[in-house]
Amino acid sequence: MMQLTTREQSGVLVVSVSGRIDHASSEEFTRLLEPLLINCRQGQPALLLDFSGVAYISSAGLRVLMMASRQSKAQQGSFAIAALTPLVQEVFTISRFNLIVPCYTSVDTACKVLGQ
């Protein structure tokens, strides 16, 4: 079962994601992200997904990220991902999702930018 743990760092809401985000778990991922995305709006802390614990993401998982990115933009909030493992980074590059969702090399780097 997928679990998201949250913490605050430099004014950014950092959400740790772990495991596999595939066709079987994408709906659960959507459901868990939903309450966090509601607050991802102008004047609220940026929402950063720490992907260091994600071993795999399928197209269905990538779609969840695209929908999250769209919703945050519509609400004028900030949404990003950080610390992708090398394999997940490759999936982002091959699918070109690195052009859709801001991806930072580390949580610290992301917090420096998003926490300002």
Subset of 25-54 contacting other proteins (CB under 8 A):
none
Q: Binding residue for other proteins (CB under 8 A) from 1, 43, 94, 116?
A: 94
The tokens describing 12, both together, are: 């950014």
DSSP 36-91: HHHT-STTS-EEEEEEEEEEEE-HHHHHHHHHHHHHHHHTT--EEEE---HHHHHH
Q: Binding residue for other proteins (CB under 8 A) from 91, 107, 110, 114?
A: 91
58 belongs to the binding site for other proteins (CB under 8 A): yes
**How many C-beta atoms lie closer than 10 Å to residue 57's C-beta?**
26
Query: Per CB under 8 A, which region of 4-12, 44-52, 74-82, 86-94 contacts other proteins?
Result: 86-94
Q: State how far Cα 107 lies from the chain centre.
A: 11
Residues that bind other proteins (CB under 8 A): 23, 56, 58-60, 62-63, 66, 87, 90-91, 93-97, 99-100
